[in-house]
Amino acid sequence: MHHNRPPLGVTRRQSLQTMGTGLGVLGLAGILSREGALADAPQPVEQLSPLAPKVAHFAPRAKRVIHLFMNGGPSQVDTFDPKPELDKYNGKRPPSANLKTERKTGGLMKSPFKFAKYGESGIEVSELFPQVATCIDDICVVRSMHTNIPNHEPSLLMMNSGETQPTRPAMGSWLLYGLGTENQNLPGYMVLCPGKPVVGPQLWSNSFLPGIFQGTHINHSNIDPKKVIRHINNGYLTRASQREQLDLLKRMNELHLERRGGRDNPLEARIESLEMAFRMQTEAQEVFDLNQETKGTRSDYGSGQFANACLAARRLVERGVRMVQVYYGNGQPWDDHGNIKLHRDKAKNVDQPIAALLRDLKARDLLDDTLVIWGGEFGRTPVAENSNGRDHNHHGFTVWLAGGGVKGGMTYGATDEFGFAAVEKKVHVHDLHATILHLMGLDHERLTFRYSGRDFRLTDVYGSVVRDIIA
C-alpha cells in the first residue's frame, strides 16, 4: 500500500532527530492536556493507552508476577530436589544415569550440601537456602520440569517466550498485551539485570506484538534513581521551548493521521511511548530510590545487586507494574561446569533477599495476588563433569512458585531416583506458561495475536494448566 509523505518535506523521525531533546519532553502533551494547557485536549491517557488495564478472561488469582531468574541453570539435586541415592551410587554410572546431555560426563556425584526438613510441610531444602527454607510453607516446589534442549540460548528463549528460536514475544509482553498495566506512569514489564544474560534483549522482546509491549531493561548494577533509566531527563530546554516542540509534533501527527483516515495504531503507540517517557521522569526516579525504605527493611533484604533488585521489584509491583523479571547477574553465572560448590556463593547472594521479598509481600498483603517464580532455563546433571561440576540438564529440573493463587507447602511431580529426568507428573515449560497465564486470569488458548496469516500464542499449540497446584 502506498503511503503519502508527511508535510514540510521531512519525516517525523528526522524532525525528532533534529530537535535535540530527551524523550521526556515529548510526553508533556499528555500532562499539559490534563492541566488544560492545550486548547483541544485529547482524551485522557487512561482511555487511549494500549497499556490501560483490560478485563481478564476470568477472575484472576494473581494480578502481577515477579520472576526470579537464576540464569545459567541451578542444580536441582543441590537445591530443592534431594536424592539420597546419589550418596549410595557415588562415582558409579548405572543405565538410568546414562541419558544424553550436551557433553561427555562421568559417574554419579553426590551433593556436597546437606538437606533438612522445614516448616509444617516438612519439605526438604538444601543448606544453600536456609532463609528461603523458612518460607517453604508458602512455596510450591515443582520437581518435574523439563524442556527441549540442553543448551543455554534455546532454553533461555523457551523459558521466556515458549519457543527455542528468537521469533516470539516474551511472557511479560503477552501479559501486557492481554491485561495492560495498572500504572500508566511506569513500564508494565520491567527487566532488572546488571548487564545482560546470554541472548540478551531478545529475552524480553515484543517480537510481532506492538512495540509498546516490549520489556524495559534496567541495569541495576548501581541503582542511582537519577540515572537508572538513561536519557529520561531533559536538562536543556525551558518549558516554553518544550511546548513549542510539542505543538509542532502534535500538528505533524494530526496531519499524518488525517491523510491516513484518522487512525494509525503504530503512531499512536509511539506517541504513548513518548508520553510515558515523560511521566516516568518523576515516578521512575521515586520507585528506584531505595533510600525511601526504612533501615529495617533495607537490612532485611541485605546488600548487593540482587538484594537491591528484589527490593526494587517489590516497590514496582506495589505500584502496579504487571511483571518484573529479576536476573541473577550478567551472562550465565549459575553455569557451574567446573565446580558445583560454587553454587554456595550464588545462593548466599540470593537466599536472604528472596526470603525477605516473600515475607515483605506477605506483610503488605501483596503475596496473595503476586505470583513469585524462581528457577533457571534448565537444571544440571546428577553425574559429574570436569570432576566436580555438573553439565546442563533439560530432562528434569526444579522451579518453585509462591503466592498468586498457588498452594504453599507442597511438592509437585518427581524426577527419577538420581534426579536426572522427570518421571512423575511431568511439567513442560508450555505447561508452566499455561498455568501462569491461568493464574493471571487468561486462557492460554484464547490469548492470541494474528500475525503472518496465523494466530500465535505463548504456548504455541501445546500446554495444559497444572490445576493440582492451584489453591
- Residues 412, 462: one domain? yes
Look at residue 111 in the predicted model and tell me its pLDDT: 98
Which residue, 247, 277, 307, sits at the end of a domain?
277
Residue 433 has pLDDT above 80, yes or no: yes
Total count of domains within the chain: 2
Q: Which structural domain, as residue segments, surrounds residue 464? A: 64-228+293-469
Give the Å distances, CA to CA, from 227 to 114, 217, 221, 224: 43, 13, 11, 5
- Residues 128, 200: one domain? yes
Model confidence band, residue 2 (pLDDT cutoffs 50, 70, 90): very low
- Residues 465, 333: one domain? yes
Average pLDDT over residues 214-237: 78
- Residues 324, 273: one domain? no
- Residues 384, 427: one domain? yes
- Residues 245, 224: one domain? no
Model confidence band, residue 249 (pLDDT cutoffs 50, 70, 90): confident
- Residues 122, 212: one domain? yes
Look at residue 234 in the predicted model and tell me its pLDDT: 67
Residue 171 is assigned to a structural domain of this protein: yes
Residue 139 has pLDDT above 90, yes or no: yes
Look at residue 263 in the predicted model and tell me its pLDDT: 58
Residue 167 is assigned to a structural domain of this protein: yes
Look at residue 279 in the predicted model and tell me its pLDDT: 67
Q: For 37-47, write each residue's pLDDT tens digit.
A: 333 333 444 44
Residue 385 is assigned to a structural domain of this protein: yes
Spell 38-75 as b/e; 16+ CB within 10 A means b: beeeeeebeebbbbebeebbeebbbbbbbbbbbbbbbb
Residue 254 has pLDDT above 60, yes or no: yes
Assign residue 169 the CATH number of its domain.
3.40.720.10
Residue 23 is assigned to a structural domain of this protein: yes
- Residues 436, 418: one domain? yes
> What whole-number percentage of the chain has pLDDT above 90?
71
- Residues 244, 316: one domain? no
Average pLDDT over residues 346-362: 98
Number of Cβ within a 10 Å radius of residue 387:
9
Residue 50 is assigned to a structural domain of this protein: no
Which residue, 277, 304, 336, sits at the end of a domain?
277
Average pLDDT over residues 173-200: 95
Pick the more confident residue, 247 or 341: 341
Look at residue 45 in the predicted model and tell me its pLDDT: 41
Pick the more confident residue, 264 or 328: 328
Name the H helices within 304-342.
305-318
Look at residue 259 in the predicted model and tell me its pLDDT: 79
Backbone φ, ψ for residue 294 (5° rounding): -70, 160
Model confidence band, residue 221 (pLDDT cutoffs 50, 70, 90): confident
Backbone φ, ψ for residue 244 (5° rounding): -60, -45
pTM: 0.86
Residue 281 has pLDDT above 80, yes or no: no
Look at residue 36 in the predicted model and tell me its pLDDT: 36
Residue 159 is assigned to a structural domain of this protein: yes
Residue 285 is assigned to a structural domain of this protein: no
- Residues 217, 252: one domain? no
- Residues 250, 118: one domain? no
Average pLDDT over residues 185-210: 95
Pick the more confident residue, 438 or 250: 438
Give me the count of residues in the chain.
Answer: 471
- Residues 347, 311: one domain? yes
Query: Residue 304 and residue 288: Cα distance in Å, rounded?
Result: 15
Look at residue 395 in the predicted model and tell me its pLDDT: 98
